[in-house]
């Protein structure tokens, strides 16, 4: 229970920080954080992205944030400069609440390792 509270507290701090920095005080939710991580990992800055590109950016983010947990491994950069990952292990079967907490923990780890 303590770990859950710790994750939620750290996530709320991160959410407030990113909301102030990127959303003029509006709350940055998990999907927006994944988008930001994907843009960061693509390394091309903020461009106009198609709907498919945005989904691909979020996929890159999911792979990247779960890489330290052993679920994905960076594979290569394609000819268009997009990173690719290979799956290593299945994500655990979790309830919706547990999935959200696992995602929050992975996002916290990502930002902690970068800033």
pLDDT at residue number 45: 80
What's the average model confidence in pLDDT over 59-73?
Answer: 97
User: 82, exposed or middle or buried, with CB in 10 Å at 0-12, 13-18, 19+?
Assistant: middle
Decide: 73 and 88 in contact? Cβ < 8 Å: yes
Parse the chain into domains and list their residue ranges. 2-114
With tokens 């959303």, the residue in question is 23
Q: What is the pTM of this model?
A: 0.90
Tokens at 87, concatenated: 């799956």
* Average pLDDT of span 86-115: 93
Q: Specify whether the CB–CB gap between 22 and 39 falls below 8 A.
A: no
pLDDT at 111: 94
pLDDT in tens, 29-60: 999 999 999 999 999 887 899 999 999 999 99
Alpha-helix residue ranges (DSSP H) falling in 1-70:
2-22, 30-42, 51-66
Q: Using the predicted structure, report yes or no on whether residue 75 has a pLDDT greater than 70.
A: yes
The CA angle 59-60-64, to the nearest 5 degrees, is 120
Those residues whose C-beta lies under 8 Å from the C-beta of residue 36, and which sit 6 or more positions away, are 18, 22, 28, 61
């Amino acid at each position: 229970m303590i770990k859950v509270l710790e994750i939620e507290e750290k996530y709320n701090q991160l959410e407030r920080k990113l909301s102030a920095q990127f959303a003029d005080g509006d709350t940055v939710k998990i999907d927006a954080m994944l988008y930001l991580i994907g843009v960061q990992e693509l390394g091309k800055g903020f461009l106009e992205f198609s709907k498919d590109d945005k989904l691909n950016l979020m996929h890159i983010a999911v792979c990247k944030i779960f890489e330290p947990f052993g679920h994905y491994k960076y594979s290569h950069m394609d000819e268009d400069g997009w990173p690719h990952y290979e799956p290593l292990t299945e994500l655990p079967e979790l309830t919706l609440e547990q999935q959200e907490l696992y995602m929050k923990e992975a996002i916290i780890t990502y930002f902690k390792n970068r800033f």
